[in-house]
Amino acid sequence: DLRSPCTEEIAVFRAFAREVGHGANRFVVLDTAPTGHTLLLLDASEAYNRELQRQTRSTQPESVMRLLERLRDPVFTRILLVTLPEATPVHEAAALQEDLRRAHIEPFAWVINQSLLHSGSCDPLLQCREESEHRYLREVVQKHATRTAWLPWQPEEPTGPDALARLAATGLKTTSR
């Protein structure tokens, strides 16, 4: 029934499942908001898809049937929570991590982006900002993440494989517990 309110969500769910399924041969990067909305969408779409299958006796694509299994497999999937070193982004990412854990999906690592830590700035405002970041980096490292990487603020956005390789070689700071 194409008039169903969930038709669009099912199409998104199937496309998402298909992209995750392609991850066996390549990297798949999915950027989503740091809220439980994505998981609710997956849950609702999966439930509706199962009901549709039950009613029509149609079969689901393998990518749909294996989606949650693949997302829960730490060998197949590595979830990176990317946030800024500020209160709201860190707390939203922590809430997302809890939602993922309730779905039995364990994030691999956290990435703190656009950090002024160790910038060496002499500007009082930037020094104050840097001091504020310490609190949120400490919170992530001590309370939320087993692996953390943080990236310094960049004058230009790193675009493309070469720029990302340079950033990884020179600008990436990491911690593990």
Distance between CA atoms of residues 117 and 85, nearest Å: 10
pLDDT band at 56; cut points 50, 70, 90: low
Locus of tokens 């230009």 = 156
Q: Which CATH superfamily is domain 78-177 in?
A: P-loop containing nucleotide triphosphate hydrolases (3.40.50.300)
Among 54-58, 61-65, 95-99, whose mean pLDDT is lowest?
54-58
What's residue 21's pLDDT?
83
Among 11-15, 26-30, 47-51, whose mean pLDDT is lowest?
47-51
What's residue 58's pLDDT?
64
pTM (2 d.p.): 0.79
* Consecutive H or E run containing 84: none
Position 55, amino acid? Q
Q: Could you read off the pLDDT of 10-23 as tens digits, one per residue?
A: 777 778 888 888 88
* Mean pLDDT of all residues belonging to the chain: 82
Domain range list for the chain: 1-76, 78-177
The Cα-based distances of 59 to 50, 66, 114 in angstroms read 9, 13, 45
Locus of tokens 């694509």 = 61
